[in-house]
Structure 1
């Protein structure tokens, strides 16, 4: 099946690339760019059909994210994060889905999943307060998914939960000023006191066991694959896309360059430069191929109505973090050999280097943790983790 959204997005890429410096300077993606991406169908790709979405193949969604990220890392990151939340919302009770999309299917949802919220159980739900950082693209959202920790009577941790909160119940504090991904507007969300009804709460334990009340109304295979795979791939895909875009910029920039030192001559005739290109291209290809393979395998299991065992879930996480590592290795090689001009502020190679490394520090891209989980599973040891 053709990726129709990708075809529409490709027409937007020159403008997105042209605005990349302005996006970085503004420290947020413009409303006009978000509107253009919405019109192209990006944010409805993983949204249920019953609310105007496409329920698209997630591999196609990640392909779109990589393309946008190649033009502007910040725009691609925001497109991925805002674009993956309709998938998560589809797991919620239908009353929550109706509140968000019932009046306008184009409403966007941001998130900050870290369980920093303070929860007080009350009749019918929770009272929530707290501060959450790094809510990418929050300026464009009318709802937020916020993390909290449910505790027992003695104060012992019971489960992480995610609460869906409307824009009227929180404020945004502008704190985002970083080295990379500067244009993502990943600002802070603050809630003084808000009531969150129980139907707008999801237990992470249920999600880890591939359950959610929304499956009663959204029965397609898309909503039966692991949250950990969908979300962490949405965090890795922009990094890989940034590096793939940097690779193309590297080729076009370096093709006509003449060395003024090291014996002179055309850069493209340098065999060490040729090896760099080959290594970088291979790392990018490997990252994409493995991640796409794993998502397809999980979708095939879900479509067949089969139980999804732990092994392919662990493999998806293994290859997702390795995909990020491969992308970062590739951009290191490109940056190192691009010469002094790549150091100029705003140079596409320089910006991509900063953006890729900024994305690499997200907890979903923590390679050691994910690889250790895979190793436990390979040795037959039990694996219990929310990010698998």
Structure 2
């Protein structure tokens, strides 16, 4: 089903402006979203209407098939309004890109009747995966499926194991809503509004065409925009949402400090050199993280548009470049929060919510700058890379 010519594709500028236009509404709704522990359907509908879920969707199924950097820029704007809503936009909006990796029939299964169906996910390889004739049987509970209430399908991660139980491949499995139940166990201190509940399956059959390997990175005849690695596109999307949240923290700090008066001396807080120093250094961290994400997209686009895979040496370094975005965003908002004194700890102060949300986002596995730094350092020293991250087997330098 190719509906690309039935719909005008907006420009990058139009999509980013649409995201900016939603920020005031998202700011107004952020406390409500956190209180309800889920992003309401009307906000998801606004994202859908704006075309955000089509940015990475293949044209074959009605999407825009745009460069991932467009998606990243949209997320960086949405994060300035409501962290949890931006997180839902990120996770639900990145899945359409993955259909460039699945066999074509998977996309037909989801979008042949309606091309705006939303797909959720939980990539943690925690369930039971059993190979059977024609596919796999899945059982278990997968946690943290963000925005899963809005999904009609879910992508689940799992290990494929040999006869001795040793993992030799990591797969994505596409499962319809009829085959799983949602478990409301999302009670957390940060990103509480993402509705990241668990999904539970009992002996659900997944046909072969609804699976693909997230470990393998191989050349194929798919479109240029689907020649990036899974890790790069998914990890950069997470980082972009967090960078947007951190920029929202900067925005909120500016709003507060422009009018705040120092209780001890009666002077405007904005006159304090320490307030200005923290603000400048926080903004520098956020801008650096943003620039890093977009530079990675630009540099790797040169490879995929010439029908080349991104070299291994680049991919190993990129994983750390992306992971550090979460850490630096967290540092930026903490710098600002420490300048709010006792006022910052009240629950009606938006900055404390943003701080909690950024900390939670920076705890995502894609933002693990510690292990990722060790992997890059070991690689540079000639050590083999860990299996199932860049390939099925350990890779030498």
The normalised TM-score by structure 2 is 0.92
Report deviation, 1:194. Answer: 1.0
1:71 to 2:81 alignment: yes
The answer to whether the 8 Å contact 1:220/1:303 transfers is no
Secondary structure class of the residue paired with 1:38: helix
What do residues 261-307 of structure 1 show as CA deviations (whole Å, max 9, x unaligned)? 2x441111111111111101110111111111011111111101234
Cα distance, 1:125 vs. partner?
Answer: 0.8
Residue aligning to 1:249: 252
C-alpha deviations, 1:57-93, integer Å up to 9, x for none? 2111111111111100000001000000011122100
Match of 1:239 among 222, 239, 242: 242
Q: 1:52 deviation in Å?
A: 0.8
1:385: how far off? 4.9
Write out aligned runs for 1:210-229 (5 A).
Answer: 210=218, 215-216=220-221, 219-229=222-232
RMSD of equivalent CA atoms:
1.4
Q: Deviations over 1:102-139 (max 9, x none)?
A: 11111111111111121222211111111100000000
Task: Tell me how far apart the structure 1 counterparts of residues 334 and 371 of structure 2 sit (CA, whole Å).
Answer: 22
C-alpha distance 307-96 of structure 1, shift in aligned 2 (>3 A) = closer
Counterparts of 1:4 and 1:100, CA distance in 2: 27
In 1: Cα distance, 2:341 partner to 2:389 partner? 39
| Ranges in structure 2 where 5+ consecutive residues have no aligned partner | 1-10, 391-397
Maintained 8 Å contact 2:228/2:309: no
> Cα distance 1:385–1:362, how it changes in 2: closer, same or farther (>3 A)?
farther
* 2:361 is the counterpart of 1:351: no
2:322 is matched with 320
Q: Quick check: 2:325–2:367 contact (8 Å CA) kept in 1?
A: no
**Residue pair 1:75, 1:183 contacting (<8 A) in 2 also:** yes
Q: Secondary structure at the match of 2:255?
A: helix
Q: Alignment partner of 1:153: what SS? A: coil
Deviation at 1:386, TM superposition (A): 4.4
Are residue 138 (structure 1) and residue 148 (structure 2) matched? yes
Q: Give the structure 2 partner of residue 175 of structure 1.
A: 185
SS of residue matched to 2:206: strand
**Is the partner of 1:356 in helix, strand or coil?**
helix
Q: Is the 8 A contact 1:28 1:185 kept in 2?
A: yes
In the other structure, the counterpart of 1:14 is 24
1:31 equivalent in structure 2: 41
**Counterpart contact for 1:173–1:188, Cα < 8 Å:** yes
Q: Deviations over 1:361-388 (max 9, x none)?
A: 1111111111112212322333245455
1:260 aligns to what SS in structure 2?
Answer: coil
Distance in 1 (CA, whole Å) between partners of 2:291 and 2:308 is 24
SS in structure 1 of the partner of residue 259 of structure 2 = coil
Q: Matched residue of 2:263: which SS?
A: coil
- The answer for the alignment partner of 1:361 in structure 2 is 363
Query: Counterpart of 1:337 in 2: which secondary structure?
Result: coil
> Partners of 2:309 and 2:236 in 1: how far apart?
21
Kept after mapping to 2: 8 A contact 1:295/1:316 = no
Tell me, yes or no, if the aligned pair for 1:92 and 1:202 is still in contact at 8 Å.
yes
* Equivalent residue in structure 1 for 2:334, among 322, 328, 332: 332
Flag structure 1 segments of 5+ consecutive residues without an equivalent: none
Give 2:163's aligned residue: 153
2:79 is paired with a residue whose SS is helix
Say which SS state the counterpart of residue 346 (structure 1) adopts. coil
Specify the SS of the correspondent of 2:137: strand
1:303-341: CA deviation from partner (whole Å, max 9, x where unpaired): 012342112212221211111111111111100002222
1:305 aligns with one of 304, 307, 312: 307
Closer/same/farther in 2, CA of residues 386 and 286 from structure 1, 3 Å limit: farther
Instruction: Give distance in 1, aligned partners of 2:20 and 2:389.
Output: 32
Report Cα offsets for 1:25-82 as digits up to 9, x if no partner: 1111010110110010011100001111111121111111111111000000010000
Q: 1:385 to 1:228 in 2, by over 3 A?
A: farther
Question: What is the DSSP-based 3-state SS (H/G/I as helix, E as strand, rest coil) of the residue aligned with 2:39?
Answer: coil
Does 2:263 correspond to 1:260? yes
Residue 71 and residue 386 in structure 1: after superposition, are their counterparts in 2 closer, same or farther (change >3 A)?
farther
Native 8 Å contact 2:227 2:309 kept in 1: no
What is aligned with 1:119? 129
1:379 aligns to what? 381
Determine whether 1:293 maps to 2:295.
Answer: yes
Tell me if the contact between 1:96 and 1:200 (Cα under 8 Å) persists in the aligned partners: yes
What is aligned with 1:342? 344
